[in-house]
A and B are shown apart, each in its own frame.
Chain A
Amino acid sequence: MPKVNNWHLRRAVEYPYDEHRPTKQWAIVFDLNKCIACQTCTLACKTTWTSGKGQEYMFWNNVESKPYGGYPLAWDLRVLEKLGRQDWSANGEYQGKTLIESAPPNERVLHYAPVDEDWMYPNVGEDDCAGGVAGGSHIPTTPHEQAWMFYLPRTCAHCTYPACLAACPRKAIYKREEDGIVLIDQSRCKGYGECVRACPYKKSMYNTYTRTSEKCIGCYPAVEQGIQPQCVVNCIGKIRVMGFINPPAKARADNPIDFLVHKKQIALPYYPQLGLEPNIYYIPPIHADREYLHQMFGPQVDGAIERYRDLERDPVAAGLLCLMGSTDRIMHRFKVERGKAIGYDDKGAELVQVPVTEPVIERAAFDAKLGAIRNNTP
């Protein structure tokens, strides 16, 4: 089997096809410290893409509460249980096996097959907290060792090495050259469900009406027009930014995604140990249990949290976080100067400009000219 370079794991991994990185790679960064699980992203996706027959249960985008939530039920626990204990070396190289490397002889990918009941409770575990909170208690420090939870919004990760694509016996799944979006060819799919079994993130879903498998399409019709996906532009918490990520050697400091992932190293892939090089990246929650975060985000998580806590001393990074959610368009470059953060499109045209620090204006409580009391309601 060919070996391909996986920079998440800092080593070559096995994959059934040769390494071929697309011209550009779709990616989203999520700031988990800001997500409030309002599910606006979920509904934006649902109403745009999955309102048809056979799609009733589908959430190409979902938000689940960690550690107990999961859609489908316990997807992460079941995959990790299958994979068993694996380790990272001190220098950040992954020493364990990936899902493809640990596939049994008669399989392409180590997997489990969800059944319908697994999909029926998208909100299971919602807001459940790890550990108990006694009445009247408060939590003065982070990380919270006893009682913690956080929200995990998830889309398809449009992996560099997709397990769904590796598993499809009909070669009906392909990765687009122009943006790295992974699609299931709806005219070739025969609904064998191999992608549903193989995707460890469980983002391929079977449509019982069309008898084909479907998945998040990365809102490619929008992306082709330079617009970010529905789940990103509708995020009211402004926790997301979609753009294009480069591998480390080609990283550009003025590319928003490269900056957060490569330069600042505050955004991390989730479950990188599965070996697929997923392209959704998370700024980890600062308050959650570190052991759990190590398992989910790998050994870089301590450094990422440390740097995130220090952002107030980095106006460029702080400016970029202010740009998140400030434009519907895809930002290819950004710049922070004189207290302003500015986003640019692929042709260098300015898309948006925001202040890094909102100006504070103090006004008297009583407006003498109008003879009215002012309040803070805009």
Chain B
Amino acid sequence: MIRPLFIPPGARRAAAARALPVLALCSLAALGCSGKKRKAAPPAEPPPTAIDTLVVHKVAADVSKPDPAAAYWQGLAEGEIVMTAQPMVAPRPDVATTEKVFVKAVTDGKLAAFRIRWRDPERSMAGRLGEFSDALALEFPVKTDPLPPVMMGAAGAPVHIFHWRAQYQRDHEEGKPTIATLYPNASIDMYPMEFKDQPGAHEAGREQFSPGAAVGNPQSYAKGGVDEIIAEGYSTSSVQAGSEGHAAHGDWANGEWTLVIVRPLATEGGSNLAPGQRAFIAFAAWQGGKLEVGSRKCVTMAWLPVSVQ
């Protein structure tokens, strides 16, 4: 890549202004680490182990709130899952950016919670132009006999996906960012229909100037943290309406995400998990800092059996 021939002075200032809050955050984080008082050491965690089945442990606790630090995770061994750069369709990553994810799973009898941990050196939430979000997806087969292709399913053999993005989490927890929050120095005169702040004016009148929103594309609305998706092959994923019973929250620290995705055990028209029943799972991860999005992702190459207690 060649550099622009000429960078106007304003561009440098803009870049510097962007860098400052990042520096401030870094120093705060450093203070937080060094200034923290040492607590009593938590019980030693069993080391991650390679697994051939993901056990969803029954716990006597409400798991509806996605909490990576909840007590019920303690003492459970992490399953180590090997990932590879998505191998089937271009565009794809040249190398596996996310080589492994580490997984624990619990259920309270109604919901299942999956705790996934993976290395990602850069926390990316997307928002501005040319930026992409860190993301992780859990995939389940809708029918298990026969199993659909693990790569996005096939026509008549759907897969059920819970797709979390750091960007969607920010939507859920802080509200959908506006241009003013993404670009604090942006100067905007007025948007169409802004003058219609009178009785009888409605948001839909304004949204007609935002094509994606005007046609009801789910991508254009604030997200609930995790998208529920049904897919029947490449290019077919479609976001399902409603978000009953599923939730997600991830924390990023020290170059690592720890994320919890909660889903109902039983769904209508989607995948089902139940004690004693055949069930499977697969994983995908995206590193926004490496411009990964869509098919630019790392994936597991086969269905991993799931055993619900």
Contacts and interface: CB of A to CB of B under 8 A. Distances in A.
Interface of A: 51-54, 56-57, 68, 73-74, 77-78, 81, 103-108, 112-121, 124-125, 167, 169-171, 186-194, 206-212, 214
B211 A210 contact: yes
A193 B293 contact: yes
11 contacts: A51-B209, A52-B191, A107-B91, A117-B11, A125-B6, A169-B235, A186-B215, A187-B217, A189-B212, A193-B130, A206-B130
Interface residues of B, number: 47
A121 B91 contact: no
Given A53-B210, A74-B5, A190 B219 contact: yes
A122 to B, nearest CB: 12
A171 B11 CA distance: 35
Interface of B: 1-2, 4-6, 8, 10-11, 14-15, 89-94, 127-132, 178-179, 182, 186, 188, 191-192, 209-217, 219-220, 234-235, 237, 291, 293-295
A113 B188 CA distance: 26
A52 B212 CA distance: 11
Contacts of B178: 53, 209
Contacts of A189: 212, 217, 219
Given A52-B209, A117-B15, A120-B14, A210 B94 contact: no
Contact of B2 (A78, A104, A105, A113): A78
Given A116-B128, A117-B15, A211-B220, A56 B186 contact: yes
Nearest to A114: B130
Contact of B213 (A119, A188, A210): A210
A146 to B, nearest CB: 19
A212 B217 contact: yes
Contact of A117 (B2, B14, B182, B295): B14
B191 A53 contact: yes
A131 to B, nearest CB: 15
Nearest to B238: A188
B182 to A, nearest CB: 6
Given A189-B217, A189-B219, A212-B211, A52 B192 contact: yes
Given A56-B186, A120-B14, A121-B8, A208 B191 contact: no
A208 B211 contact: no
A169 B93 contact: no
| 9 nearest CB pairs, A to B | A210-B212, A52-B209, A116-B129, A115-B130, A192-B294, A212-B212, A210-B220, A186-B211, A73-B4
A210 B128 CA distance: 12
Given A77-B2, A210-B220, A211-B220, 14 more contacts: A68-B6, A74-B4, A107-B90, A107-B91, A117-B15, A119-B129, A169-B294, A169-B295, A186-B215, A187-B212, A189-B212, A190-B237, A207-B211, A212-B211
Given A51-B191, A52-B191, A212 B234 contact: no
Contacts of B216: 187
A71 to B, nearest CB: 12
Contact of B130 (A103, A113, A212): A113
A106 B192 contact: no
A170 B293 contact: no
Contacts of A120: 10-11, 14
A53 B209 contact: yes
A208 B128 contact: yes
Contact of A194 (B2, B91, B94): B91
Contacts of A171: 235
A186 B217 CA distance: 7
Given A106-B91, A124-B8, A210-B219, A52 B210 contact: yes
Contact of B219 (A104, A118, A191): A191
